[in-house]
Structure 1
Amino acid sequence: MATSGTYVTEVPLKGSAEKHYKRWRSENHLFPDAIGHHIQGVTIHDGEWDSHGAIKIWNYTCDGKPEVFKERREIDDENMAVTFRGLEGHVMEQLKVYDVIFQFIQKSPDDIICKITMIWEKQNDDMPEPSNYMKFVKSLAADMDDHVLKA
Protein backbone atom coordinates (compact mmCIF):
# COMPACT_ATOMS: atom_id res chain seq x y z
CA MET A 1 0.00 0.00 0.00
CA ALA A 2 1.34 3.41 -0.97
CA THR A 3 1.77 6.27 1.46
CA SER A 4 -1.33 8.25 2.32
CA GLY A 5 -2.09 11.19 4.54
CA THR A 6 -4.24 14.12 5.46
CA TYR A 7 -3.22 17.76 5.48
CA VAL A 8 -5.32 20.32 7.36
CA THR A 9 -4.89 24.08 7.40
CA GLU A 10 -6.96 27.16 8.11
CA VAL A 11 -7.05 30.31 6.01
CA PRO A 12 -8.35 33.47 7.71
CA LEU A 13 -10.89 35.33 5.59
CA LYS A 14 -13.08 38.40 5.97
CA GLY A 15 -16.81 38.89 5.59
CA SER A 16 -19.47 36.24 5.79
CA ALA A 17 -19.02 32.50 5.63
CA GLU A 18 -22.22 32.32 3.56
CA LYS A 19 -20.79 34.53 0.80
CA HIS A 20 -17.55 32.56 0.62
CA TYR A 21 -19.40 29.26 0.69
CA LYS A 22 -21.73 30.41 -2.10
CA ARG A 23 -18.74 31.31 -4.28
CA TRP A 24 -17.14 27.89 -3.81
CA ARG A 25 -20.44 25.98 -3.96
CA SER A 26 -22.10 27.45 -7.01
CA GLU A 27 -20.08 30.28 -8.58
CA ASN A 28 -16.99 28.49 -9.87
CA HIS A 29 -17.52 30.05 -13.30
CA LEU A 30 -16.32 33.34 -11.73
CA PHE A 31 -12.94 31.93 -10.67
CA PRO A 32 -11.03 32.69 -13.91
CA ASP A 33 -11.97 36.39 -13.66
CA ALA A 34 -11.36 36.54 -9.91
CA ILE A 35 -8.14 34.55 -9.61
CA GLY A 36 -7.03 34.06 -13.20
CA HIS A 37 -3.39 33.75 -12.14
CA HIS A 38 -4.41 30.41 -10.59
CA ILE A 39 -7.53 29.30 -12.49
CA GLN A 40 -7.73 29.80 -16.24
CA GLY A 41 -10.99 27.95 -16.85
CA VAL A 42 -13.75 25.88 -15.28
CA THR A 43 -16.27 23.92 -17.34
CA ILE A 44 -19.16 21.64 -16.49
CA HIS A 45 -18.70 18.08 -17.71
CA ASP A 46 -21.86 16.69 -16.08
CA GLY A 47 -24.56 18.26 -13.90
CA GLU A 48 -25.13 21.91 -13.01
CA TRP A 49 -22.85 24.53 -11.47
CA ASP A 50 -24.42 24.15 -8.05
CA SER A 51 -25.52 20.51 -8.04
CA HIS A 52 -24.25 17.79 -5.75
CA GLY A 53 -22.37 15.24 -7.83
CA ALA A 54 -21.59 17.67 -10.65
CA ILE A 55 -18.39 16.93 -12.54
CA LYS A 56 -16.21 19.90 -13.46
CA ILE A 57 -12.98 20.28 -15.36
CA TRP A 58 -10.51 22.88 -14.11
CA ASN A 59 -7.63 24.43 -16.05
CA TYR A 60 -5.15 25.90 -13.62
CA THR A 61 -1.51 26.75 -13.02
CA CYS A 62 0.38 25.05 -10.19
CA ASP A 63 4.08 25.65 -9.65
CA GLY A 64 4.17 27.60 -12.92
CA LYS A 65 2.86 24.67 -14.98
CA PRO A 66 -0.54 24.47 -16.69
CA GLU A 67 -2.55 21.51 -15.43
CA VAL A 68 -6.03 20.02 -15.75
CA PHE A 69 -8.18 18.54 -12.98
CA LYS A 70 -11.48 16.69 -13.28
CA GLU A 71 -13.47 16.47 -10.07
CA ARG A 72 -16.81 15.38 -8.69
CA ARG A 73 -18.47 17.88 -6.39
CA GLU A 74 -19.93 16.95 -3.02
CA ILE A 75 -21.95 19.60 -1.22
CA ASP A 76 -22.70 19.79 2.51
CA ASP A 77 -24.91 22.86 3.01
CA GLU A 78 -25.41 22.18 6.72
CA ASN A 79 -21.67 22.49 7.43
CA MET A 80 -20.96 24.96 4.59
CA ALA A 81 -18.46 22.53 3.08
CA VAL A 82 -17.62 21.64 -0.50
CA THR A 83 -15.57 18.57 -1.39
CA PHE A 84 -13.63 18.29 -4.63
CA ARG A 85 -13.11 14.55 -5.25
CA GLY A 86 -10.36 13.97 -7.81
CA LEU A 87 -11.25 11.82 -10.82
CA GLU A 88 -8.66 12.57 -13.51
CA GLY A 89 -5.93 15.01 -14.42
CA HIS A 90 -2.35 15.84 -13.63
CA VAL A 91 -2.65 15.41 -9.86
CA MET A 92 -4.26 11.99 -10.38
CA GLU A 93 -1.13 10.82 -12.21
CA GLN A 94 0.60 10.98 -8.82
CA LEU A 95 -2.28 10.16 -6.49
CA LYS A 96 -4.91 7.42 -6.21
CA VAL A 97 -6.95 9.55 -3.80
CA TYR A 98 -7.17 13.33 -3.88
CA ASP A 99 -10.06 14.87 -1.96
CA VAL A 100 -10.03 18.52 -0.94
CA ILE A 101 -12.66 19.83 1.47
CA PHE A 102 -13.25 23.57 1.85
CA GLN A 103 -15.33 24.37 4.95
CA PHE A 104 -16.29 27.95 5.80
CA ILE A 105 -16.70 28.73 9.50
CA GLN A 106 -17.87 32.08 10.89
CA LYS A 107 -15.65 33.02 13.85
CA SER A 108 -17.03 36.51 14.51
CA PRO A 109 -19.28 38.92 12.59
CA ASP A 110 -16.38 39.98 10.34
CA ASP A 111 -13.97 37.06 10.50
CA ILE A 112 -14.20 33.57 9.15
CA ILE A 113 -11.84 30.74 8.43
CA CYS A 114 -11.70 28.41 5.53
CA LYS A 115 -10.69 25.04 6.93
CA ILE A 116 -9.04 23.06 4.15
CA THR A 117 -8.63 19.32 4.50
CA MET A 118 -6.74 17.40 1.85
CA ILE A 119 -6.96 13.60 1.93
CA TRP A 120 -4.50 11.86 -0.36
CA GLU A 121 -2.92 8.55 -1.25
CA LYS A 122 0.04 8.23 -3.59
CA GLN A 123 -0.06 5.99 -6.66
CA ASN A 124 3.22 4.53 -5.37
CA ASP A 125 5.90 5.45 -2.87
CA ASP A 126 8.16 6.89 -5.59
CA MET A 127 5.78 9.83 -5.98
CA PRO A 128 6.33 12.97 -3.87
CA GLU A 129 3.87 13.97 -1.18
CA PRO A 130 1.38 16.51 -2.59
CA SER A 131 2.40 19.41 -0.34
CA ASN A 132 2.62 21.65 -3.42
CA TYR A 133 -1.09 21.02 -4.08
CA MET A 134 -1.95 21.93 -0.49
CA LYS A 135 -0.04 25.17 -0.91
CA PHE A 136 -1.94 25.76 -4.15
CA VAL A 137 -5.44 25.22 -2.71
CA LYS A 138 -4.57 27.34 0.31
CA SER A 139 -3.59 30.20 -2.01
CA LEU A 140 -6.87 29.78 -3.93
CA ALA A 141 -8.88 30.39 -0.77
CA ALA A 142 -6.70 33.30 0.34
CA ASP A 143 -6.66 35.00 -3.06
CA MET A 144 -10.43 34.64 -3.51
CA ASP A 145 -11.03 36.62 -0.28
CA ASP A 146 -10.78 40.12 -1.80
CA HIS A 147 -12.97 39.17 -4.74
CA VAL A 148 -15.72 37.80 -2.50
CA LEU A 149 -15.63 40.94 -0.34
CA LYS A 150 -16.16 43.14 -3.41
CA ALA A 151 -19.10 41.05 -4.68
Structure 2
Amino acid sequence: MADEQPKSTYVILPENPIKNLTVAEMYDKEKYDLSTMEEGDVFTMLNATRNGLTEQEVNERFQKFGHNRLEHKETSAIMQFLLFMWNPLSWVMEAAAIVAIVASNGGGQPPDWEDFVGIILLLLANSIIGFVEQRNAGNAVKALMASLA
Protein backbone atom coordinates (compact mmCIF):
# COMPACT_ATOMS: atom_id res chain seq x y z
CA MET A 1 0.00 0.00 0.00
CA ALA A 2 2.92 2.36 0.75
CA ASP A 3 4.35 1.80 -2.75
CA GLU A 4 1.07 2.80 -4.38
CA GLN A 5 1.63 5.45 -7.05
CA PRO A 6 -0.56 8.57 -7.07
CA LYS A 7 -3.30 8.47 -9.69
CA SER A 8 -2.50 10.57 -12.73
CA THR A 9 -4.17 11.60 -15.94
CA TYR A 10 -3.18 13.27 -19.19
CA VAL A 11 -4.53 16.77 -19.60
CA ILE A 12 -4.26 19.39 -22.31
CA LEU A 13 -3.01 22.64 -20.84
CA PRO A 14 -3.30 26.03 -22.52
CA GLU A 15 0.42 26.75 -22.02
CA ASN A 16 1.63 23.19 -22.69
CA PRO A 17 -0.04 20.86 -25.22
CA ILE A 18 -0.15 17.62 -23.20
CA LYS A 19 1.13 16.89 -19.72
CA ASN A 20 0.70 14.03 -17.25
CA LEU A 21 -0.55 15.41 -13.92
CA THR A 22 -1.44 13.70 -10.69
CA VAL A 23 -4.91 14.37 -9.35
CA ALA A 24 -3.40 16.48 -6.56
CA GLU A 25 -1.46 18.61 -9.07
CA MET A 26 -4.49 19.11 -11.26
CA TYR A 27 -6.51 20.56 -8.39
CA ASP A 28 -3.65 22.51 -6.76
CA LYS A 29 -4.88 26.12 -6.86
CA GLU A 30 -1.33 27.47 -6.75
CA LYS A 31 -0.47 25.68 -9.98
CA TYR A 32 -3.78 25.67 -11.84
CA ASP A 33 -6.56 27.83 -10.43
CA LEU A 34 -9.57 26.75 -12.46
CA SER A 35 -11.64 29.66 -11.13
CA THR A 36 -9.35 32.20 -12.83
CA MET A 37 -8.91 30.36 -16.14
CA GLU A 38 -10.92 31.02 -19.27
CA GLU A 39 -13.97 28.78 -19.57
CA GLY A 40 -12.74 27.15 -22.76
CA ASP A 41 -9.35 26.43 -21.18
CA VAL A 42 -11.03 24.71 -18.22
CA PHE A 43 -13.06 22.47 -20.54
CA THR A 44 -9.91 21.70 -22.53
CA MET A 45 -7.86 20.96 -19.42
CA LEU A 46 -10.51 18.69 -17.95
CA ASN A 47 -11.18 17.08 -21.33
CA ALA A 48 -14.88 17.90 -21.06
CA THR A 49 -17.51 19.84 -23.00
CA ARG A 50 -20.30 22.19 -22.06
CA ASN A 51 -22.72 19.27 -22.59
CA GLY A 52 -20.96 17.16 -19.96
CA LEU A 53 -19.41 13.72 -20.21
CA THR A 54 -20.53 10.65 -22.09
CA GLU A 55 -21.43 7.52 -20.15
CA GLN A 56 -18.12 5.95 -21.20
CA GLU A 57 -16.14 9.00 -20.00
CA VAL A 58 -18.00 8.92 -16.69
CA ASN A 59 -17.12 5.24 -16.20
CA GLU A 60 -13.46 5.83 -17.14
CA ARG A 61 -13.15 8.73 -14.69
CA PHE A 62 -14.93 6.76 -12.00
CA GLN A 63 -12.39 3.95 -12.43
CA LYS A 64 -9.52 6.44 -12.34
CA PHE A 65 -10.63 8.81 -9.56
CA GLY A 66 -13.19 6.81 -7.57
CA HIS A 67 -16.21 8.19 -5.74
CA ASN A 68 -16.63 11.95 -5.40
CA ARG A 69 -16.47 11.96 -1.60
CA LEU A 70 -14.72 13.99 1.02
CA GLU A 71 -12.56 12.06 3.46
CA HIS A 72 -13.76 12.47 7.03
CA LYS A 73 -11.64 11.47 9.97
CA GLU A 74 -13.50 11.12 13.25
CA THR A 75 -11.74 12.55 16.33
CA SER A 76 -12.51 11.16 19.76
CA ALA A 77 -14.65 13.31 22.04
CA ILE A 78 -11.96 13.34 24.73
CA MET A 79 -9.35 14.58 22.26
CA GLN A 80 -11.71 17.28 20.98
CA PHE A 81 -12.29 18.44 24.56
CA LEU A 82 -8.58 18.50 25.37
CA LEU A 83 -7.87 20.50 22.21
CA PHE A 84 -9.95 23.33 23.67
CA MET A 85 -7.25 23.67 26.32
CA TRP A 86 -4.54 24.03 23.68
CA ASN A 87 -4.79 27.68 22.64
CA PRO A 88 -3.22 30.97 23.72
CA LEU A 89 -6.08 31.99 26.04
CA SER A 90 -5.91 28.66 27.85
CA TRP A 91 -2.12 28.89 28.11
CA VAL A 92 -2.44 32.29 29.80
CA MET A 93 -5.07 30.93 32.20
CA GLU A 94 -2.92 27.88 33.01
CA ALA A 95 0.10 30.13 33.64
CA ALA A 96 -2.03 32.37 35.88
CA ALA A 97 -3.15 29.34 37.89
CA ILE A 98 0.46 28.24 38.40
CA VAL A 99 1.54 31.77 39.36
CA ALA A 100 -1.37 31.99 41.81
CA ILE A 101 -0.14 28.88 43.63
CA VAL A 102 3.56 29.80 43.51
CA ALA A 103 3.07 33.44 44.56
CA SER A 104 0.77 32.56 47.46
CA ASN A 105 3.18 29.98 48.88
CA GLY A 106 5.64 32.47 50.41
CA GLY A 107 6.72 33.03 54.00
CA GLY A 108 6.09 29.47 55.10
CA GLN A 109 2.35 29.87 54.63
CA PRO A 110 0.25 27.11 53.02
CA PRO A 111 -0.84 27.73 49.41
CA ASP A 112 -3.95 29.81 48.83
CA TRP A 113 -6.05 27.44 46.72
CA GLU A 114 -9.04 29.73 46.05
CA ASP A 115 -7.43 31.63 43.15
CA PHE A 116 -5.97 28.45 41.67
CA VAL A 117 -9.28 26.57 41.82
CA GLY A 118 -11.19 29.59 40.47
CA ILE A 119 -8.89 29.88 37.45
CA ILE A 120 -9.05 26.13 36.77
CA LEU A 121 -12.86 26.21 36.98
CA LEU A 122 -12.94 29.10 34.48
CA LEU A 123 -10.63 27.15 32.18
CA LEU A 124 -12.87 24.07 32.40
CA ALA A 125 -16.03 26.14 31.86
CA ASN A 126 -14.49 27.75 28.76
CA SER A 127 -13.49 24.34 27.38
CA ILE A 128 -16.88 22.75 28.12
CA ILE A 129 -18.81 25.57 26.45
CA GLY A 130 -16.56 25.46 23.37
CA PHE A 131 -16.76 21.67 23.20
CA VAL A 132 -20.57 21.60 23.44
CA GLU A 133 -20.92 24.33 20.80
CA GLN A 134 -18.58 22.51 18.43
CA ARG A 135 -20.39 19.20 18.94
CA ASN A 136 -23.75 20.85 18.22
CA ALA A 137 -22.35 22.43 15.05
CA GLY A 138 -20.80 19.11 14.01
CA ASN A 139 -24.09 17.30 14.55
CA ALA A 140 -25.91 19.90 12.44
CA VAL A 141 -23.38 19.41 9.62
CA LYS A 142 -23.73 15.61 9.85
CA ALA A 143 -27.52 15.90 9.65
CA LEU A 144 -27.23 18.17 6.61
CA MET A 145 -24.78 15.80 4.91
CA ALA A 146 -27.07 12.84 5.63
CA SER A 147 -30.04 14.66 4.12
CA LEU A 148 -28.01 15.42 0.98
CA ALA A 149 -26.79 11.84 0.56
- Category of TM-score, reference length = shorter chain: under 0.3
Larger Rg: 2
More helix by share: 2
Q: TM (normalized to structure 1)?
A: 0.23
Q: TM (normalized to structure 2)?
A: 0.23
